Amino acid sequence: MKIAYFDCFSGASGDMLLGALVDSGLDLPRLEAALRKLALSDWSISAEKTKKKGIAATHVRVHTHEHPPHRGLPEILRILGVGRSAGLSARVADRAAFQKLAGNDTL
């Protein structure tokens, strides 16, 4: 088993986390294939090497073709397939960070 530990002492954005995963060996096409299982459309993903203030990294961008709508917890859980069969495994969906952040980890 491999374990990744993120020491985000001052926070981290989604693109920063995705870039760190790709830099750690996650295959971008594999990531895209997994994300395509979600009930979302009209998006693409890209990655490019970048260097800022002497630090090299991979910048992963998720492109949408329109401004994404505001989504509440019930809609996010529906997209993730929590509570029913969907693209993500039950184990992954049940561990969704959104549930933990909302204090609702018993669904």
What was the pLDDT predicted at 46?
94
pLDDT digits (tens, 9 = 90+) for 27-81: 999 989 988 888 788 889 999 999 989 988 899 998 887 777 788 878 877 777 6
For the record, the structure tokens of 15 come out as 């693109």
What was the pLDDT predicted at 4?
73
Q: With a threshold of 0.85, does the pTM exceed it?
A: no
CA distances, 39 to each of 20, 35, 42, 73, 105 (Å): 25, 9, 11, 15, 21
For the record, the structure tokens of 34 come out as 């997994």
Whether residue 86 is predicted with pLDDT greater than 60 in this model: the reply is no
Looking at the 3D structure of the chain, how many domains does it have? 2
Domain check: are 17 and 55 in the same one?
yes
Judge whether 83 lies within some domain: yes
- DSSP assignment, residue 68? P
Domain span at residue 80? 69-107
3-state SS, 68-87, equals CCCCCHHHHHHHHCCCCCCC
Q: How far apart are CA 53 and CA 5, in angstroms?
A: 24
Judge whether 52 lies within some domain: yes
